[in-house]
Amino acid sequence: MFVAQSFAKNFGLYNERIGNLTVVVSDNSTLTAFKSQMSLIVRANWSNPPNHGAKIVHMILTNPDMCKQWHECIQ
């Protein structure tokens, strides 16, 4: 199962390419093969992706006051 998530809109971080891909597999051999292939794809496309937006999201989600304020804003 693949789950893609973007934080561009709900954090107001347009053009920052903030998001993630979560993959659920049934066994370790599938995970190992998947990680190997994804590493090749990611490396070929984004040698050194920007981390500015990711730092902002991390700061908000790990600070209880900021996280609470963010939750209130998106409700």
Distance of CA 22 to the CA centre of its chain: 9
- β-bridge partners, 19: 6
pLDDT tens digits, one per residue of 17-55: 788 889 999 999 999 999 999 888 887 777 777 788 889
Q: How many CA atoms are closer than 13 Å to the CA of 42, on its beta-carbon side? A: 10
What pTM value is reported for the model? 0.58
What are the φ and ψ backbone dihedral angles of 7, each rounded to 5 degrees?
-110, 5
What pLDDT is attached to residue 25?
92
**What's the rounded Cα separation, in Å, for the pair 42 and 40?**
6
